[in-house]
Chain A
Amino acid sequence: MSLTAQKMPNRRLETPSHGTIAKERFVLMNAGPTQPRPANQHLRRNPPIAGEQEAIDNARNGDARAFETLYAMHKRRVYSLCLRMLGNVAEAEDLTQEAFLQLYRKIGTFRGDSAFSTWLHRLAVNVVLMHLRRKGLPQVSLEETLEPSQDDGPRKDIGARDLTLSGSIDRVTLERAIENLPPGYRLVFVLHDVEGYEHNEIAEMLDCSIGNSKSQLHKARMKLRDLLRTGQRKEQIA
């Protein structure tokens, strides 16, 4: 039996309302997040953290201990985001460091229009994207993402009934499969399905069309399905 015939309502992070923002401003120049719209429906992922507001206020006034407190509160989320987007521990640690340095420099610009964690999260996404841009973006969008191979096209043998995933994925297996996604697919999948960004936001971040974002997400899910089913086959053989 396969699970979840339900639709896929994306739980959404509260994220900035961009309007028209030039890509250079967004990706290359502005590692700080734009000011998000007011907090609303994303409490599950942005629950209030006891002591956070006080730490923010004190850190803005130059309290080093308060900044350390903010690091302790948010390091896991920022690092996990970097690691999932990059798939590389060393790079993820470097960019976590960069994100918190950006936070140190920009915390005075945080206006409190959104949850602090959402604002910091977006700052971290921007840091990662800047890093990938500096590397020339081959990992983000080219080859397998914009020019998919025939393997990515429609297939007639999909959905063989003996190998539906049917509720069999555990977290570790899924994390490992995500790591093995081609980088461009992984980026869109993590931003959309894991982190909850909308296609219009991803399109703006990656400077691609909304249709392209949807297409890459779909290919990423298809590729994940292949990876997961391959894993199941190996387990069955073993």
Chain B
Amino acid sequence: MIVLRAPEKTMTCAEFQEKLPELFESQAGLDGHDHLKSCENCAALVRDLEYIASQARLLLPIHDPGPAVWENIQQAIRQEPGPAVPGPRK
């Protein structure tokens, strides 16, 4: 006689998400994780979090300080012991 069994649910979504911070950091934490095979919601969450991290890595320094910053630095350095700095370039 064949006995049919429902697939064993090893981890709830809440339990999986509790472990996510550690799973992200471990080398083999998320690849092929059992819960992700059966839970599309958590799989989508993981994809989104990975996507956010990957996009953050692409952010480049694009902001420039205003010109007053260098002027203030020059002014402060003039009052420092050590090398003098010339005035603003003409």
Contact = CB atoms under 8 A, between A and B. Distances in A.
A93 B53 contact: no
Nearest to B89: A68
Given A63-B83, A76-B61, A154 B18 contact: yes
Contacts, number: 165
A47 interface: no
Interface residues of A, number: 64
Contacts of B27: 7
A67 interface: yes
B21 A4 contact: no
Interface residues of B, number: 51
Interface centre among A165, A171, A214, A221 (most CB of B within 10 A): A221
B65 interface: yes
Contact of A159 (B42, B51, B52, B86): B42
Contacts of B51: 2-4, 165-167, 169
Given A76-B64, A174-B56, A214-B22, A158 B41 contact: yes
Interface of A: 2-8, 10-11, 62-65, 67-68, 71, 75-77, 79-81, 83-84, 92-93, 96-97, 100-101, 104-105, 154-161, 164-167, 169, 171, 174-175, 178, 189, 193-194, 196, 199, 211, 214-215, 217-218, 221-222, 224-225, 228
Given A193-B52, A193-B57, 17 more contacts: A3-B51, A11-B57, A64-B77, A76-B62, A84-B59, A97-B69, A97-B72, A101-B77, A104-B80, A154-B18, A158-B45, A164-B44, A164-B47, A167-B51, A193-B53, A214-B24, A218-B24
